[in-house]
């Protein structure tokens, strides 16, 4: 994309921000609206708009057009992500909520794992526009599948919009703050690892995509394990372990350069992703469990709002660090500094979780 539109690598962050910034806000709004009008109905609209955005992105004649398509995709993605947790938790018994959310997070991470691999092949063979076109049939299949689902409203009890007081329920503020920090840190990998693998290590797009896939693959493997642990032991322990593993993986990447053994890079990418999977599921379990059944859409949207605001902030800050350091210190130093900042962010989240461990344990006691 950077080459096609003749823009510097750091400008590509707007392709990420335009999507994630919009879906962060729409995840919360869409989830809250779904509590009133039905989760499946809102989910279905999101899938339909996603297909429209894919077509617009594939046909983009300019960088501005591409950004507009990503805004539409973000709007649609917010409706999908904001309703999915509510659909899952309302279908699961309270004592199996962690397993249900673990399956959801594993499915999302598996998509993220397969996406870069398939995208690498598509870019190598057909160019970046094929990445948008190839997903059109998938969106059509998902939309067709939603037609078989009942468009019922949310859980039992009075249906109302979420209130400010709801956002202060029990562990919700701490859990959302941790999600913000964890996601801000992990996006150093999504933003900078592809440039490192292709520019500094000389790998082709397909091989770089395969290596990069290890981060979401780690999340895919960890999420179901974290869900079971949260159901049996409570959310506090897997949450803290996950943050610590993420910080360790990012820290290892902070000292990587063109001569770092590939095995070290591979292990660091996998460890960071595994840590995210261990953290995300108990975090979502805490938040979803703090809200009544009639507000599960708002609760799910809030988890994605926290995660995505962290993502957008991380992209903006880490891209700025990389862009500022690269001209004066070179790629390796800029890459290392950006990952050092990411490591510090997640380390701070780990320390915050440790200071709040008693509150988290009380909120996460199995019911």
Please spell the DSSP secondary structure of 236-267, one letter per residue: HHHHHHHHHHHHHHHHHHHT--TTS-HHHHHH
Tokens of 251: 């820290």
Distance CA 189, CA 269 (A): 8
The CA–CA distances, whole Å, from 53 to 56, 243, 259 equal 5, 34, 40
Distance CA 239, CA 282 (A): 6
Tokens of 180: 């913000």
Per-residue confidence (pLDDT) for residue 323, from 0 to 100: 87
Per-residue confidence (pLDDT) for residue 150, from 0 to 100: 66
Per-residue confidence (pLDDT) for residue 72, from 0 to 100: 95
For the chain, what are the domain ranges?
A: 9-146+166-363
Distance CA 61, CA 265 (A): 37
Mean pLDDT across the chain: 85
Return the number of other C-beta atoms located less than 10 Å from residue 133's C-beta: 15
Tokens of 69: 């398509």
Using CB atoms within 10 Å of the CB of residue 138, give its burial: 0 to 12 exposed, 13 to 18 middle, 19+ buried.
middle
Distance CA 77, CA 22 (A): 9
Distance, CA of 30 to chain centre: 17
Q: Which residues of the chain have pLDDT under 50?
A: 156-157, 366-367
Distance CA 66, CA 252 (A): 34
CB of 148 closer than 8 Å to CB of 40: no
Per-residue confidence (pLDDT) for residue 367, from 0 to 100: 45
Class of domain 9-146+166-363: mainly alpha
Per-residue confidence (pLDDT) for residue 141, from 0 to 100: 93
Among 209, 253, 281, 266, which residue's Cα sits nearest to residue 342? 253
Per-residue confidence (pLDDT) for residue 139, from 0 to 100: 92
CB of 10 closer than 8 Å to CB of 322: yes
* Structure-token match 């594993």, residue found: 106
Per-residue confidence (pLDDT) for residue 233, from 0 to 100: 81
């Amino acid at each position: 994309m950077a080459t096609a539109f003749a823009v510097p690598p750091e400008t590509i962050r707007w392709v990420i921000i335009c999507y994630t910034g919009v879906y962060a806000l729409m995840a919360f709004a869409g989830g809250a609206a779904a509590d009133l009008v039905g989760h499946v109905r809102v989910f279905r609209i999101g899938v339909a708009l996603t297909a429209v955005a894919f077509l617009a992105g594939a046909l983009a004649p300019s960088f501005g057009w591409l950004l507009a398509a990503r805004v539409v995709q973000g709007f649609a993605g917010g409706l999908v992500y904001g309703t999915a947790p509510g659909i899952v938790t309302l279908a699961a018994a309270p004592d199996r909520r962690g397993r249900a959310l673990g399956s959801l997070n594993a499915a999302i991470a598996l998509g993220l794992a397969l996406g870069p691999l398939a995208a690498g092949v598509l870019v190598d063979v057909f160019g970046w526009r094929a990445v948008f076109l190839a997903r059109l049939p998938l969106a059509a299949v998902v939309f067709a599948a939603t037609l078989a689902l009942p468009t019922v409203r949310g859980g039992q009890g009075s249906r109302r919009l979420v209130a400010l007081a709801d956002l202060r329920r029990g562990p919700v503020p701490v859990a959302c703050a941790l999600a913000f920090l964890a996601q801000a840190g992990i996006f150093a990998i999504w933003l900078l690892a592809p440039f490192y693998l292709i520019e500094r290590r000389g790998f082709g797009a397909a091989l770089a995509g395969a290596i990069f896939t290890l981060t979401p693959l780690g999340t895919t493997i960890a999420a179901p394990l974290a869900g079971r642990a949260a159901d049996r032991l409570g959310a506090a322990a897997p949450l803290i372990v996950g943050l610590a593993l993420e910080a360790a993986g990012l820290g290892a990447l902070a000292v990587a350069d063109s001569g770092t053994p590939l095995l070290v890079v591979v292990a660091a990418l996998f460890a960071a992703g595994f840590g995210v999977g261990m953290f995300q599921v108990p975090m979502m379990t805490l938040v979803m469990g703090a809200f009544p059944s009639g507000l599960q859409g708002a609760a799910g949207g809030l988890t994605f709002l926290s995660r995505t605001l962290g993502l957008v902030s991380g992209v903006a800050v880490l891209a700025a660090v990389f862009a500022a350091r690269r001209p004066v210190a070179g790629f390796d130093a800029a890459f290392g500094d950006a990952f050092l900042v990411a490591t510090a962010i997640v380390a701070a989240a780990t320390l915050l979780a440790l200071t709040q461990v008693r509150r988290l344990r009380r909120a996460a006691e199995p019911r």
